[in-house]
Amino acid sequence: MTLNIVGIGPGSPDYITPAAMNAVMNSEVVFGSRRALELFPSARKTVVLGARDMDEKLGRAAELAISMEVSVLSTGDPGFSGVLKPLKRIISSRGLPVRVKVVPGISSIQLCAARLLIPWDDADVITLHGRGEEGILDVIDNGRPTIILPSRNPSKTAAFLIECGLDPERRVAVCERLSYPDERVLKSTLRDVSESEFSYMSILVVL
């Protein structure tokens, strides 16, 4: 049987691929955050993944997939700051004999680049999930846009960049709640962003 690691896109059902839907519908058990599971109301059996019990539940998903079809849902694409990395670590550390398949999804990064008309082979993409903000400084002044997935809030990252000496009037964009009905794309300055509030589901782009 198979452990399907399924990218579900940025959040709207419009961005769920038929391959993702097939994997979920063919699974006996589907693991995902509450927000992810809501996109698949006809999934057979579901298990909610929370931040606190993430590793334990991912381990359970991998063990179950030895004998049945299981899907684990991941926002956007599983391979960028998604569940592919922790699942690979868990499977290899426990030596689980499980067949793994990744179903790619449309990443929030792709939708952000699309909204801002940025060809993203011309951009640097950085996630701050699980790492410090210092890495941004290596690329911020190389003439290419920097697309940042902040782990805290875009305002905190903007404040950090100003503290590090970036011009507070530097042009930036924030893409918030992409694909949802209340999606917002704000083009502004580092200073304005550092003084504003944003949802956790936001991407900061330093232009």
Ligand X SMILES: C[S@@+](CC[C@H](N)C(=O)[O-])C[C@H]1O[C@@H](n2cnc3c(N)ncnc32)[C@H](O)[C@@H]1O
**8 counts as binding ligand X under rule CB under 6 A:** no
- Alpha carbon distance 120, 104 (integer Å): 18
By beta-carbon proximity to ligand X, the closer residue of 8 and 30 is 8
Helix (H, G, I), strand (E, B) or coil at 5: strand
Interface with ligand X (CB under 6 A), residue from 98, 118, 177, 193: 177
**173 counts as binding ligand X under rule CB under 6 A:** no
Cβ atoms of 132 and 48 closer than 8 Å: no
Nearest alpha-carbon partner for 199 in 188, 184, 189: 184
**137 counts as binding ligand X under rule CB under 6 A:** no
By beta-carbon proximity to ligand X, the closer residue of 39 and 70 is 39
Shortest distance, position 66 Cβ to ligand X, whole Å = 25
Binding to ligand X by CB under 6 A, coded x per residue (else -) over 30-69, reads: ----------------------------------------
Interface with ligand X (CB under 6 A), residue from 4, 46, 71, 108: 108
- Alpha carbon distance 118, 128 (integer Å): 20
Using a CB cutoff of 8 Å and minimum separation of 24, what contacts does 38-43 make?
Answer: 39/8, 39/11, 39/13, 39/73, 40/73, 43/71
Shortest distance, position 198 Cβ to ligand X, whole Å = 9
- Alpha carbon distance 144, 119 (integer Å): 11
Residue number with the smallest Cβ distance to ligand X: 76
Phi, psi of 146 (to 5 degrees): -110, 120
Q: Tokens at residue 25, please?
A: 């519908």
- Alpha carbon distance 34, 8 (integer Å): 13
**81 counts as binding ligand X under rule CB under 6 A:** yes
**200 counts as binding ligand X under rule CB under 6 A:** yes
Interface with ligand X (CB under 6 A), residue from 147, 166, 175, 190: 175
By beta-carbon proximity to ligand X, the closer residue of 53 and 167 is 53
Interface ranges with ligand X (CB under 6 A): 10-11, 74-77, 80-82, 107-109, 129, 149-150, 175, 177-179, 200-203
